Amino acid sequence: MIEALRRSVPASLPVRSPSDRPGVSRRESGIAAVVEPASAIPKLWLRNVSLSYAANANGRLAALHQINLQVQTGEFLCIVGPSGCGKSTLLHLAAGLHRQTSGEVLFEGAPVEGPGTDRILIFQELGLFPWLTVAGNVEFGMKMKGVPKPERERKVHEYLRLVHLEQFKESYTHQLSGGMRQRVALARALATEPEVLLMDEPFAALDAQTRDLLHDELERLWAETQSTVVFVTHNVREAVRLGDRVVLLTFRPGRVKREYTIDLARPRHLEDVEVAATAGSILQDLREEMNQSLNERS
């Protein structure tokens, strides 16, 4: 089955190199320097954003501290960092599900006031509806967006085909494996054709083969649809496999520790030597960060 799926993935991708976009320079190594920021308004812009949660009677827990982050239109941005550093919180802010304590969250230059179909979050728990079929789940977001029925039916068919679940369209989600449910969630999000896809460790629970296929699929869909992706993962190699740019957050409270422009040709694979080498140097920074925070706490 895996072979059959592999064959359906086109060998070549539309060429989308990070150096095609403004604000990014090309270098020989995997990590390139970020040069002057693009003059266009960023798709997403977190300006000096901090967020603290009410923790207990004794005070508040600082989750994010003065985050400055711009995501350009069409960019594939990956965010990595230790567990608890605020990665999910950052995505929730972009999705309009949380409000920052201070600073600004801007979508195309306008403040984010709440959730919107232009920014779709795919999170670990998926949020699929058990009372709807696979097709019903994929259709749901489009219904909410007011997409007419014939178009909804066409897109359900199209996106289920893309994630290789056409033959399961009448199944209910409890009848599917974890990987298949993840693909339903991906199809549902993609079918609404959001401007920004916010993905919170979406493939963390999948077996290696399914994850590899979904990497290929996601990369191809991103290239074809020219959408903007913000992808959170604790897996640095996955971030290098997918991202135009990788942002490393510090241990709690999350701050931007470093940004890396990944200037490797696409399509990439997790096993590529360059991917492994680039991930290795980012991982070193991540380890330093974790050691430093452990020392500070001991």
- Residues lying near Mg ion in the complex (CB under 5 A): 88
For residue 67, the minimal CB distance to ligand ADP (Å) is: 12
Minimum CB–partner distance for residue 99 and ligand ADP (Å): 12
- Partner in contact with 61, chosen from ligand ADP, Mg ion, none, beta carbon below 5 to 8 Å by kind: ligand ADP
77-85, 124-132, 142-150, 219-227 -> range binding ligand ADP (CB under 6 A): 77-85
Asked if residues 185 and 165 have their Cβ atoms less than 8 Å apart, the reply is no
**202 forms part of the interface with ligand ADP (CB under 6 A):** no
DSSP annotation of 138: H
Half-sphere exposure of 57 (CA within 13 A, CB side): 0
Least separation in angstroms between CB 242 and ligand ADP = 18
24 binds ligand ADP (CB under 6 A): no
The closest alpha carbon to 17, from 230, 225, 264, belongs to: 264
**Residue 7 exposure: Cα atoms within 13 Å on the Cβ side:** 3
Closest CA to 67 of 276, 253, 282, 260: 253
Other Cβ atoms within 10 Å of 281 Cβ, number = 15
Residue 94 token pair: 């972009």
Choosing from 5, 13, 61, 277, the residue that interacts with ligand ADP (CB under 6 A) is 61
Stretch that binds ligand ADP, among 3-11, 85-93, 144-152, 164-172 (CB under 6 A): 85-93
Contact between 97 and ligand ADP (CB under 6 A)? no
Strands 228-232 and 196-200, how do they pair? parallel
Binding site for ligand ADP (CB under 6 A): 53, 61, 63, 81, 83-89, 252
